[in-house]
Each structure stands twice: as C-alpha cells, then as structure tokens.
Amino acid sequence: MNKTTLKLAVAGILLTTGMAGAEPLNVEWLLRGGLSWKGQLFGRDGDWIELKRPEDLKPVRVGANTIKELIFEIDLDIEKVSKMVKNREFEQVVATLEKAIDPFTEYSDIPSNLTKYNALLMELYYRTAQYDKSLAISSKIAEDDRNPELQEKSRVYQALALIDGGKPSEADALLAKYGWDQELSGDASPQKLYIAAKLMALKKQYSEAMLLIARVIAFNSSDLEWMQPAEMLCAEIYTELGLYDSAEEVCRQIDVLYKDSPEFDQAQQLKLKIEKLRAEQELEESLESKEA
C-alpha cells in the first residue's frame, strides 16, 4: 500500500459525520503517546470517542484505549459543596455531585479528573449507608495507581463498605489480599486496626475487637480521624454486650470531645437506641416479676 492510499485509509477511519445526542462537552484529552489537545467531546460509539479541536473541520474518532486521561470542565460550586460537607449535609452533597458528574458517566471507564469527585462520592455513599454504591466506586479507584494516596483511601472504604454491608467473608478476603490481616500490633496503622476491629465486631468476636480498639486509642491518641470512629465503635460494642452505662459514658465523651462530627451524630442516635433498650429490658423484668 503506497503512502497516499494509506493516508486515505486512515482518514476514512478517523473522519466521521457526527453523532446525534447531548450537547458536546468541553474537554482536554491526553493520549498515551504524550500528545494532548483541548476541544469538545461529541459522543461515544463503543470503543471510539468522537472529539473535535477548534482547528478541525470535522470531529475525529479516537480509540478509547489510546486515551491516557480526560480532563472535563465540571460545573460545580466547590465552596458550596465544602460548606455542605462541613455541615454534614451528606445527602444534599450526594445529590449535587451526582448531578454534576452525570453528563460524564458514559466515559467512566476512561481515567479522568472525575476520580477526585468520585472519591468524595465514595465516602459520602458510605456515610449515608449506601454501601453497595460506595463499594462500586472504591473498588474501581483501588485499581487506579495514578494517585497512591487516593488508592489507599479507596481500599479503606472498600473494606468498610463490605463490613458495614454485612459481608464478613468478602471482607476477610479483601484484608488478606492487602495484607491487612497481619501484624495487628500497636505498630500497625490505626486504619488497619480499626478495620480489623470492625470486622471482629461484625463476627461478634467482641474481646478481640476491644483489644484492637484499645491499640488504636493507646498508640494513636492524636490521630482524630481514627480515634473518633474507634471510640464510637467501642460504645456500639458495649451496647451489644448490654453494658449500657459504659456505652453512655463513651457517648458523653464523644459529645464533649467531638462536636460537629459524624461520630457526634452517631452518639446521639446510639443514646436513643440505649434508652429504648433500657425500656424494653425494664418491661421484660417487670413482666417476669409479675409471673413469679
């Protein structure tokens, strides 16, 4: 095949007549070969992405697997979102983020700057007990090594979503995969100790769980990111064991030390639960006394 014929063949593959659908999206695309362009994204046809630079007469088709990263323009008020997160308006933040990234969901399999927004969604889905959704996002980010810190965080939420979603066997397998079921001494990271403690509590192995919580508190007292949930887990385990006075004491500590935190909200909910459990216990004891 001569050069002229080859050029015509390539042009025949790349040039398209345009795809009907949604409004084009402003985007910068980085190719694996090191090239990058800015322009508009017109749509997708399977493994092909249709893009157009300002100087192009027509859009061109680019193989999705040749794209290193897509950088989208996201219509999102970051200051407003940050304020809602601070105020723990998690459900409103979820709705806002979902709306902002919805136009780009068709390209979710391609690396992009959406990862940081999805990471926030991952955390908020977990906070709002949408564990399957949190797991879906965290599992994807966990395989993305572009940002090691974010990758590690996603693995934490993978484990938490499995545990709080009531899947101990899958959580066991995940911890073994990452080596988080080994070396759970005081030198272990607080997140590893906390995750292992939650898993033990799910299995009703409360003694082992309390030992791991004690290590979080004893060796990581300045790390509030993990101290707070560890103390909340302690109160929850006391409640499961029927040690309501101890659970309430921990809740009071959380009230004082961790105001304006998710754990503060959880402590209020747990105190209401304990109040209900006490009433049920008193009623049961009263009925047993009458029968006697």
Residue with tokens 């105190």: 271
CA 291 from centroid of its chain's CA atoms: 52
pLDDT, residue 22, reads 65
- The answer, yes or no, to whether residue 19 has pLDDT greater than 60, is no
* CA–CA dist 49, 204 (Å, integer): 50
Put the strands of the sheet holding 36-45 in their side by side order.
60-63, 48-52, 36-45, 25-31, 67-72
- The answer, yes or no, to whether residue 277 has pLDDT greater than 60, is yes
Q: What is the mean pLDDT of residues 163-181?
A: 96
Q: DSSP assignment of 16-63, as one string?
A: -----SSPPEEEEEEETTS-EEEEEEEEEETTEEEEE-TT-SS-EEEE
Enumerate helices (H) and strands (E) in the chain, giving the number of each: 12, 5
pLDDT, residue 21, reads 52
pLDDT in tens, 101-156: 999 999 999 999 999 999 999 999 999 999 999 999 999 999 999 899 999 999 99
User: What residue type is 71 in one-letter code?
Assistant: I
User: Domains of the chain by range and CATH?
Assistant: 13-73 (2.30.30.100), 75-182 (1.25.40.10), 189-292 (1.25.40.10)
Are 97 and 121 in contact by the 8 Å Cβ rule? The answer is yes
Look at residue 15 and give its three-state secondary structure: strand
Are 89 and 46 in contact by the 8 Å Cβ rule? The answer is no
Comparing CA positions, the residue from 203, 275, 287 lying closest to residue 239 is: 275
Assessment of whether the complete model's pTM goes beyond 0.75? yes
* CA–CA dist 29, 106 (Å, integer): 15
- The answer, yes or no, to whether residue 7 has pLDDT greater than 50, is no
Quick one: DSSP state of residue 259? T
Q: DSSP assignment of 68-129, as one string?
A: EEEEE-----HHHHHHHHHTT-HHHHHHHHHHHHGGGGGGTTS-BTTHHHHHHHHHHHHHTT
pLDDT in tens, 54-67: 999 899 999 999 99
- The answer, yes or no, to whether residue 206 has pLDDT greater than 90, is yes
pLDDT in tens, 225-266: 999 999 999 999 999 999 999 999 999 999 999 999 999 999
Q: What is the mean pLDDT of residues 82-108?
A: 95
The dihedral formed by the CA atoms of 151, 160, 83 and 270, expressed in degrees to the nearest 10? -160
* CA–CA dist 246, 237 (Å, integer): 10
Q: How many residues are there in the chain?
A: 292
Burial of 7 (0-12, 13-18, 19+ CB in 10 A): exposed
- The answer, yes or no, to whether residue 11 has pLDDT greater than 60, is no
